[in-house]
Structure 1
């Protein structure tokens, strides 16, 4: 159903004087996506183009849409209907594709890291994403993980992108939001946590080293993690070649 002229005018009257808020949201989104794209491009060049092509394409498309919205907001005549539609496209890409890729990578690579089987399983599941399932944004340090895994997962550290979502009181009136001492921040991390706690859960920094994990594992159980720098991409490519031949 097409919006009425009154609805279009109401949206324009509401959003036009608040363009600075929308642009600030876009600045945050574009900055995070730039970080993601730069890391993915670097990983693609250094390690394996095939494996990183899927998240790189998605992150690039999201960034391009955000840039178009930003340009539209700064134009002399602003078409909010088109911009809202583009914003919805970004949001759906993030919810149904980018966040799903993060969710899959977190589950598939957490145990063992970049061994060939994990790489193949991750890539196969990424390839099967059809947009029918949504996922929340991946948050760094939301769950305790090894250092190598967290470093890799930074490529998915993009906050929720909802440019035309509800505008908060603090955004509207510039009132800062404060945290009480000891209160968890948006990442669920107590600012008073000591470095000793970080060292305890990071474990040894050597490649394929045992990583101490949280209560999900028994205290005596160890998880071995092969870092990205030593990933078995050659074996992954062999898997792909064999499957290509078998499946015709």
Structure 2
């Protein structure tokens, strides 16, 4: 009796390929439990930017140190060559009543002491300068007597300044700049820092045509011995201190 079973057809080649590919992706007992992700071949952009910025900073810092060292060796950069200056506005000076104009450029530089208490901190020096102005104005002077005052904090305080004549008794002509050292003669000798500030101030006066290049340094006779070192330094720094 003939069989009723229908013979099976051979599967199509395309179907066999699909079955094979699907079975390869099935996890079996031989498959590893942990699979490693492929390692990135490029560095994350954020870390790359950070690294680039760090390299630029190191380059800039190195160049800065290099230029500073070169400047120190050649003397082009001198941190102490800065005028420490306090204007009338800074120390809150009273308005002057009436001052006489200087005859610029001046011929003389008067060095003297204020004969008042010294100071060594800015706040204390500011108070001393204000007290000086008050005392001088109460003594029928129109303002503080001096053009500039060098205080113990190594700062130059503006008195009558760059334009108006000083009013030191006996030296109140309009062809003289006066620079007073805050303190008493003998009790407070000029320090190296104060002398440096004085030299810088003189340079500015000459450069701005406020003082002639061959100026004469004068002092009160009773104070001359206390300024001998300062005068010698000025003469060594400024070759021509007298006009021919």
TM-score of the superposition, structure 2-length normalised?
0.22
Q: Which has the higher helix share?
A: 1
TM-score of the superposition, structure 1-length normalised?
0.22
Q: Which has the higher strand share?
A: 2
